[in-house]
Structure 1
Amino acid sequence: MSRYEELVAEGAAVPTDGWDFSWFEGRATEERPSWGYARAMAGRLARASAALDVQTGGGEVLASAPRLAPLTAATEGWPPNVTKATALLHPRGAVVVASPEDAPLPFADEAFDLVTSRHPVRPHWAEIARVLRPGGTYFAQHVGPASVFELVEYFLGPLPEESRTARHPDRERVDAEAAGLEVVELRAERLRMEFFDIGAVVHFLRKVVWMVPGFTVEAYEPRLRALHEHIEAEGAFVAHSTRHLFEARKPGQPGQPVRPVRSG
């Protein structure tokens, strides 16, 4: 078996559940945003009375907080991640609810004073506003526009402009404000990524399934082999991720009734 075949087989065999990226150590790197989302989120959780983490993945980021809110819930749509998040978070007293990412949040109006999310597929702004109490906060780290598109377009070819500008922070600001939220902070950064072997590329595309929809080793074997040769010659394949920190507030004071926000 060639080195290429060994690396691809290894990348294809690694489990993809959860959002633990420790397998990539020494095989791929990604620069981290300067704001330190997990640390900042933990500080807010320690001060909250009721918190919701949306699209929690395997619960790893939420579980990293030293202290959770007295009432903490999380939603997740992918069954393997629901299982993993439940195992991590139930011992901490948090409730994990299986809920599709595009469904209404399965909670009452004004149930939480803090809603968090790390890399939601698509923020459901009207629902976030609905479940927040007056004066409550949405605090999240989002994936930005054209993230890792060097790798995506290597496999898919040039994408249309609307694909490149999707997830733009300015557009998300408008959508959040349309749902009745006040944007408190919005910061964006472009971050360097490096893949040091083709196995890391294979595992990444299997784990982050929306990058190259329908990705399989068999379907992209010629491109994978050519990329392997590039990495062997150059030492790495370089791409760039985009991230933005988003903090928004629901107007009003705790305990003050407000006019409900409705979608549509």
Structure 2
Amino acid sequence: MTGSSAPSDQPSPCSPRSSSSSSSSASEARFDALVAEAAAASVDGWDFSWFDGRATEQRPSWGYARAMADRLARAGAALDIQTGGGEVLASAPVLAPLTVATESWPPNVARATALLHPRGAAVVADSDEPPLPFADGAFDLVVSRHPVTTWWDEIARVLAPGGTYFSQQVGPASVFELVEWFLGPRTPEERGARDPGHARDDAEAAGLEVTDLRAERLRVEFLDIGAVVHFLRKVIWMVPGFTVDAYLPQLRSLHRKIEEEGPFVAYSARFLIEARKPGPPSTGLR
């Protein structure tokens, strides 16, 4: 055969090896761009709009924000513990005449203040450790969405007789499919933490009567690696100490998995708990 063919051990421009190399380079470029974008995004507040089109999560059937707003409209004095950036509390059309929110992280304190002060609500910088900086029986309603820790004795103390605690919380092994991708298998004790039954027991031990307790597991999808990075930067207790550099191998392998198989699927755990302090209802209720 005549002619100047390329050596057999070198890929031609149209060979599968060349195509594979080009595809790999494009994937790496997408990885770098997505991670850089997510690493630069602000994680202040508790607004998840950055995830639009990049991650999805089923919502619990009970509609926490709507139910919270209904209770706020009937309360005389209300407290929102660990308000984050105040976004959930501010979503209520009507606030109690006296509404106070606590928050520990300084950027969130500033964000919540800007959002809630125009609504007549006070924001108190608090360490999220007992005691709460309020008098006994100061509130007829206490609410909290996704508290890191629930200090039941303090909630019972600041509630007026007949007052209510209303909260949506993170349940056991929430999004552990993602957690274990980075940290490996968790222990039975870790997987069983934040059990709704334990919350009931703790509420009752503090002298409260649990009037409602519901739990659901909900599908979560991460559509690209940027969504994973932003999620782990924002929800810091999922993978404590998370940084891109510290978990670069896991991020690269997860990026490849998403590109080859589609969205990474995990399941969040949520429970709703409502508890009442015994006694006649507060005269502050409307």
Counterpart of 1:162 (choices 189, 192, 200) is: 189
Q: How much does 1:102 deviate? A: 2.0
Match of residue 89 from structure 1: 116
Q: Report the identity percentage.
A: 75
Counterpart of 2:257 (choices 222, 230, 234) is: 230
Contact 2:140-2:282 within 8 A present in 1 as well: no
Contact 2:41-2:230 within 8 A present in 1 as well: yes
Match of residue 58 from structure 1: 85
SS of corresponding position for 2:85: coil
Read off the aligned partner of 2:125 and give its amino acid letter: A
Deviations 1:39-63 (A, max 9, x none): 0000000000000000000000000
1:48 aligns with 2:82: no
Deviations 1:216-260 (A, max 9, x none): 00000011000000000111100000000110000001369xxxx
Read off the aligned partner of 1:129 and give its amino acid letter: A
1:126 aligns with 2:126: no
SS of corresponding position for 2:163: strand
Read off the aligned partner of 2:98 and give its amino acid letter: L
Contact 2:163-2:282 within 8 A present in 1 as well: no
Distance 1:132 1:106 in 2: 13
SS of corresponding position for 2:186: coil
Q: How much does 1:101 deviate? A: 1.4
SS of corresponding position for 1:47: coil
Distance 1:104 1:233 in 2: 50
Alignment: residue pair count: 256
Match of residue 136 from structure 1: 163
Match of residue 260 from structure 1: none
Q: How much does 1:100 deviate? A: 1.1
Distance 1:83 1:182 in 2: 35
Q: How much does 1:198 deviate? A: 0.2
1:32 aligns with 2:73: no
TM-score between the two structures when normalised by the length of structure 1? 0.96
Read off the aligned partner of 1:17 and give its amino acid letter: D
SS of corresponding position for 1:151: helix
SS of corresponding position for 1:213: coil
Read off the aligned partner of 2:87 and give its amino acid letter: E
1:108 aligns with 2:123: no
Read off the aligned partner of 1:32 and give its amino acid letter: R
Match of residue 11 from structure 1: 38
Read off the aligned partner of 2:184 and give its amino acid letter: G
Worse overlay, 97-106 or 62-71: 97-106
Specify every segment of 5 or more residues in structure 1 that has no aligned partner in the other structure, as ranges: 257-264
Deviations 1:132-174 (A, max 9, x none): 0000000010000000000001100011111111100001100
SS of corresponding position for 1:68: coil
Counterpart of 1:184 (choices 180, 191, 211) is: 211
Larger CA Rg, structure 1 vs 2: 2
SS of corresponding position for 1:2: helix
Specify every segment of 5 or more residues in structure 2 that has no aligned partner in the other structure, as ranges: 1-27
Q: How much does 1:103 deviate? A: 3.0
